[in-house]
Each structure stands twice: as C-alpha cells, then as structure tokens.
Amino acid sequence: MIPYKILLNEHEMPKQWYNIQADLPNPLKPALNPQTHKPLTPDDLSAIFPMPLIMQEVSTERWIDIPEEILEIQKLWRPSSVHRAYNLEKVLGTPARIYYKNEGVSPAGSHKPNTAVAQAYYNKVSGIKRLATETGAGQWGSALSLACSSFGIECTVYMVKVSYHQKPYRRSLMEAWGANVIPSPSDQTNSGRAVLESNPESMGSLGLAISEAVEDAANREDTNYSLGSVLNHVLLHQTIIGLESKAQMEKVNEYPDVIIASCGGGSNFGGLAFPFLYDKIHGKDIQIIAVEPSACPTLTRGPCTYDYGDTAKLTPLVMMYTLGHDFEPPGIHAGGLRYHGESPLVSQLVKDKLVEARSVGQLGVFEAALTFTRSEGILPAPEAAHAIRTAIDIAQECKESGEEKTILFNLSGHGHFDLSAYDDYLAGKLDDYEYPEDAITRSLENLPKIDL
C-alpha cells in the first residue's frame, strides 16, 4: 500500500534548481527600463539586487547549483512530505488518487522561505547589510524576516496598512524574528508621502508597498530589495518543491495526470509545476492548472502585455498577464493572491497553452478548505485552498466518469494566521465577488504604451 506520507531523507534533497528558461518553446520577452523603455541591463538592477540573483534572473542554464549554506538552513523543515489524501478521497468517494505536497511545514508557514533563504544568502555574500521588502498578508514578510535572522542581516518590511491592522499576529511574528515592520503608505518614502498627501486615510496596496521598498533600497548603499514572487529567480528557487515531489512520486511508482497550484505571482505554482513541465514540453501528457481568485482574475481576464510591477512605476516593465498596475483588488481573504500582475514565466506558459488557468470564487474555496480540514486535519491558508477547490472539482469529475486520475496539488501554506477569515466564512459574512468588467477596462486604460 502507498503510505500516507511519502518522505525523503535529508541527503535526498535536490542539489540543483531547475531553470525552465532552458526549455521554453518561446523565450521570454526582455524586461524594459521603466524610464527609457529599452531592454533592461544588469546595471539597471544592480542598485537593488545582488549580482548572483541578477545572473540567475537572465540565466538559460538548465541546472543551477544550490549552495550548501542554503540547504543547511532549509533542512530545518525540508524535505517536506507528500501526502496521499486517503481521507479526503474517502469523503469524496472518488476513484481519483489525490496527493498533496505540504509546504505549510516551514517555520513561517508557507513555501516562501524557499526563496527567502536563498535571497538572504546571496545578499549576505554580496556584502549587503539590510534588506527592504513589502508584504501584503504577511506571509512574505515573515519568510524574509526568518531568512534575514538566519544570516544576521537587518530586515525592513513595508506592510500594506489594511493587513497591518487586520493581521497583528503576522506583524508580531516578523518582529519576533527581529524585523522592523512599517505600515504602508508611510512617511518614510516619497511614494508613501505622495499617497498620504492626497489620501491620508489610504489603507495601502501591494503595488504601493513595493514602490516604498524599492525606493528605500535604491536610496541606501547598504540595502537591497527583495521580492517574494513573480521574478524568474524566485520561481527558480521554488523548483525545489517540484523536484522533491517528483522524487517522492517516483518512490511509489506514481506520476501525476493533473498538477494544480494556486497562483498569485506564480511562485508556488512554478515551484511545483516547472519540473513536471519539463516532461510536458518533451511530450508527456499532463494537465497543469494555475488557480486564481475570481476577484483578481489576472490570467483568466487580463491581457498579456508590458506593464509595471508597482503603482509608482519604479519597477521595470515586464511582459505578463496584468489587470493594470493601478488595479485595486477587493479585500478578499486570500491576501497572497491579490497582485495585479503575474510572473512572466507563468504568463508565457499560459500564452503557449502549456498551462491552463482557472478562476474560482471565495465561497467555494472556503467550502473546499473545510472539507479538507475535516478529512486531512490541516487548516489550509485561503490561498492554498484555491488549489484544493480545483483538486476536489477534478476528483468529483472522476467520480462521475469513473476515471482513476492521479492528482497532485500544492498545499502552499497553513491557515493559522487566517482564522479571522474562517470566522467570517463560518458566520456567513463572506460573498463571492466577480471583478466587474468595466472596472478592469478602466484600469487597463492606464497601461503603458510600448511599441512592440
């Protein structure tokens, strides 16, 4: 019998990351300098990123060695287990076999430390003393705070003001790891002060918090910027998820027919899916699904075009699916899935039809989350529950058709800091929300005009 938990030993941890840029059928379009609109050079990035990460960002080498110092820290929780969801299968009465990779076991509670530790390491060896970043729901800020404390560097986190007040315990966690947490908009940066002047009551947005952190890093010699998703090097570091999962599935002679992960900026999705996409690009028949909220439908309703990564237009222009850089997502509870853009790598793969995108509503997501909690025991992060919703949908289709599909999804994090969202759901206070078409059209009117 296949065990409930498929485990790897520490010596079986992957020693290299997989870089999908080596295998893309159509290469990425270059990122552009936000002022000149000319292709970005490594120099453009060196004010805020260390050179090893800039080189990884543009590398087309298929395999990139993972430094031993990174693996040593990640052994605190890695390799993470793959679970066979026997109890969920039983509740659903499905002939499908459901597996999930549990990334909620890291100290910060999500997959995000996989890249945070790598980024802190490369900054440390490049002589950087302090990192600035933003956080929405607090997952990324926690991950980077943990990573910085592991390597003895300072960490400043601009936290979207609405979350700063709604999620005080995420802030406590960051402070426990020694980080300095500032509500955004703040009076510490030009971008923040400009917003406060026009709207003192502003509750902030992820795009604005990014502007503040980038400005902070650009203005200080000892400080770099760090981003938790979207960028190529972030998705590269996350491929440890899929590489481990592949080895774990092999151990029990299984190979997934369907791979599912939630998609905000694309990092947990890319992390799980890219090592399997290698096989798909080389002819294997697998269905690979990225799931997003219907309230922030970047991949399913946005165009794929050049756009800025932030509100103040400080970041490079990248080719991606986007809802427009000044899109303001509604306050749904999956805070990690509220970004207006999407990873260029995931965007290219969706455009090339190697990846399928779906959107799901909030109520169905929480219903699936509780079905999972009441069968498998783990309370998932609302973000992760988007993948659970889709896995359950496919398992139910299998029940009707009698197909015995093998499904693998990413449990990207636990929901212990999201209990107020569960409270609201259980009290019947949540709604489904479809982003209105005219609001999307309006925000797309401000897309930069680039001659392609």
Ligand X SMILES: *Cc1c(COP(=O)(O)O)cnc(C)c1O
Stretch that binds ligand X, among 203-211, 267-275, 281-289, 431-439 (CB under 6 A): 267-275
Q: Please give the torsion angle defined by the CA atoms of residues 411, 415, 417 and 423, in that order, rounded to the nearest 10 degrees.
A: 150
Report the residue number, 112 or 124, with the smaller CB distance to ligand X. Answer: 112
Nearer to ligand X, 380 or 398 (CB): 380
Separation CA 232–CA 400 (nearest Å): 39
Tell me if 112 contacts ligand X by CB under 6 A: yes
383 binds ligand X (CB under 6 A): yes
Q: Spell out the SS3 assignment of 177-241.
A: CCCEEEEECCCCCHHHHHHHHHCCCCCCCHHHHHHHHHHHHHCCCCEEECCCCCCHHHHHHHHHH
Stretch that binds ligand X, among 122-130, 276-284, 365-373, 377-385 (CB under 6 A): 377-385
Token pair belonging to 390:
């889709």
User: What is the closest distance, in whole angstroms, from the C-beta atom of residue 415 to ligand X in the complex?
Assistant: 8
Residue 267 binds ligand X, judged by CB under 6 A:
yes
How far, in Å, CA of 212 to CA of 188, rounded? 8
Q: Taking CB under 6 A as the criterion, which residues in 334-373 touch ligand X?
A: 336-337
Distance CA(282)–CA(279), nearest Å, equals: 5
Question: Contact, 107 vs 146, CB < 8 A?
Answer: yes
The DSSP bridge pattern shows strands 258-262 and 287-293 to be: parallel
Nearest to ligand X of 97, 297 (CB atom): 297
For the chain, give me the number of helices (H) and strands (E)?
18, 15
> Which of 19, 229, 298, 390 contacts ligand X by CB under 6 A?
229
Report the nearest approach of ligand X to the CB of residue 309 (Å).
Answer: 13
- The reply on whether position 268 binds ligand X by CB under 6 A is yes
Strand residue runs (E) in 332-417: 356-360, 406-411
384 binds ligand X per the rule CB under 6 A: yes
Smallest gap from residue 229 Cβ to ligand X (A): 3
- Rule CB under 6 A: is residue 183 a binding residue for ligand X? no
Does 110 bind ligand X (CB under 6 A)? Our answer is: yes
Cβ proximity to ligand X: between 195 and 365 the closer is 365
Instruction: Give the x/- contact pattern for ligand X in 300-339, rule: CB under 6 A.
Output: ------------------------------------xx--
On the CB side of 267, how many CA atoms lie within 13 Å of its CA? 28
- Residue 413 lies near ligand X (rule: CB under 6 A): yes
Residue 69 burial by CB count (10 A; 0-12/13-18/19+): exposed, middle or buried? middle
Residue 237 engages ligand X in binding (rule: CB under 6 A): no
Check binding of 185 to ligand X (CB under 6 A): no
State the CB neighbour count (10 A cutoff) for residue 182.
Answer: 23
**Residue 236 contacts ligand X per CB under 6 A:** no
Cβ nearer to ligand X, comparing 21 with 102: 102
CB of 341 to ligand X, least distance (A): 11
At 94, which amino acid appears? T
Among 50, 52, 141, 266, binds ligand X (CB under 6 A): 266
Read off the amino acid at residue 164: Y
Measured from the Cβ of residue 25, the count of other Cβ atoms closer than 10 Å reads: 9
- Residue nearest ligand X, CB atom distance: 413
State in Å, rounded, how far the first CA of the chain is from the last one: 55
Looking at beta carbons only, is 349 or 381 nearer to ligand X?
381
Which of 80, 315, 412, 443 touches ligand X (CB under 6 A)?
Answer: 412
> Taking CB under 6 A as the criterion, which residues in 115-154 touch ligand X?
139
Q: How far is CA 120 from CA 129, 231, 400, in A?
A: 10, 15, 48
Q: Which of 155, 213, 263, 272 binds ligand X (CB under 6 A)?
A: 263
- Minimum distance between the CB of residue 104 and ligand X, rounded to whole angstroms? 7
* Interacting residues with ligand X (CB under 6 A): 110, 112, 139, 229, 262-269, 336-337, 381, 383-384, 412-413
